[in-house]
Structure 1
Amino acid sequence: MTGNSMTVPVSVIIPCYNSERTIRNALLSVVQQSQRPLEIICVDDCSQDGTIEVIKSFAGEFSQQSVRIERMPENDGPGSARNHGWDLAKGDYVAFLDSDDFWHPQKLEFQVAVMREQDCFGSSHRRSPNLPGLYDEANGTPQEISISTSELLFRNRIVTSAVMLKNQPGFRFRPGMRYCEDLQLWFEILFAGNSFVYLDLPLSSLSGPEEAPNSLSSAVVKMEKSKQGIFRELRQKHRISMSQLYAASSFSLMKFVFRRMQGMFAGR
């Protein structure tokens, strides 16, 4: 697959909070795409550093690319910031990028192609700490895997900064939900009968050190509580069986306990 400088109907939405050190790299990875997006919408979630100034400077430097800056009235988390950008998006598709992540230059090229070919509602792809160089026909034919609700109960391969969705009303991140709001949305999309395709090809990465899986931070605990709440809600809505609830809940708790034990031993 080879790219060019064509524009694709994608609105890129970047929630920002105190991101002055990483937001430029994220933005650079968007304007350096082989197929550029229609627009970039940066939604600042009440940053207290120089994030806005960095974005303004970038927008002036790359004036050929539409870069829009929106400000949230109060800090309400990345889900609400994404929703605000989503409501303003003009593209046929929306792609989310966290301010501390960056994309492979052919990310949009590959993903728009699969969205059109498969006519899927959503797509995601693999991430890697070290992204390879440009792909060609020899190394750039990714395996396309259909993601099911059953798989999502036990393994979430859909990372928000890798997601592209059809820009249609009816789906949004749950307002005010600060943990696992992405997982909740993926379930809503899939249980509504929509398809989600995973590309087994690394097309995004993280600018800084990713949180270790054995972290003991309060955020990890809150994420697990939120995930358990999602499982219970799915059962209450009769979207999963009682046996599926027990299996998914137990499996997630076992992984959580194992990571905490890893953290305890690593800290000695």
Structure 2
Amino acid sequence: MAMQGNDFSIENINQRLLQEFYDSYDEELEMELDDLRFGDGRKPEPGEKAWRKHYFRELLRLQGELVKLQEWVTRTGHRLVIIFEGRDAAGKGGVIKRITQRLNPRTCRVAALPAPNDRERTQWYFQRYIAHLPAAGEMVLFDRSWYNRAGVERVMGFCNEQEVEEFFRSVPEFEKMLTRSGIQIVKYWFSITDEEQELRFLSRIHDPLKQWKLSPMDLESRRRWEEYTEAKEEMLERTNIDEAPWWIVQGVDKKKARLNCISHLLRQIPYEDTEQKTITLPHRERHDEYRRNPVPEEMIVPEIY
């Protein structure tokens, strides 16, 4: 399948698809893969390896700050909602993964709601999202949110224009109500180009480990790029309020997008470093009468590695 534009030769497409493959793995494994990749005879682009090492160092530093942020949220009882919106394959899941990677899942969780069931379709539109809002000391990351109504539901015809208009009237008041109750809302829109989305979809098509990310809805959204653009522009215009403004993340370069988003997020919360208590490992008690019973051989997992 040919890419649009003049910068996408077959060689460039193949190289980008390979980069997409590497990008789907954890950072530690990716560093090891990089050593192999740059040793395979391919000459790296000027500064490419240096940039990737800088990326890993910055990511770990920012993740350390996220740990401090979570400790502050837990200690102060702060309530934080972070909304991630954007086109399919825009990189929302990647940044969510890096934010939560080293945090305590007991007080930081991801809400990625499926399509509403028959009962939920008869409820107040915001009702099913309310159950996922944070209690004191919690952070909730919405991988898509109530803004589905202004995007996929509207473009795909799952709601009518009267329902869309009601959403636009309601959502500013809904978010103002949440902020008045003490919940901080941070909203991100991940922006990518037409060509970049096409490449990422091709990567998913040709990578068996990522094909699960593609759905018929994703493929249809690709065809309706321009309709999504119009819906997105109206959504940002009508729901950008002082209490919960939109922030646009330039997402064509995934790694830069992750660093920029996390760095920006940290600046939105007035967290302070928490003094760590000294942890002392207690001595294990030993008793002469203690005996360990042997484990039956048939219960042991075979050591094939």
TM-score normalised over the length of structure 2 = 0.21
Higher helix share: 2
Bigger relative CO (Cα 8 Å, ≥ 6 apart): 2
TM-score normalised over the length of structure 1 = 0.23
Which of the pair has more CA radius of gyration? Answer: 2
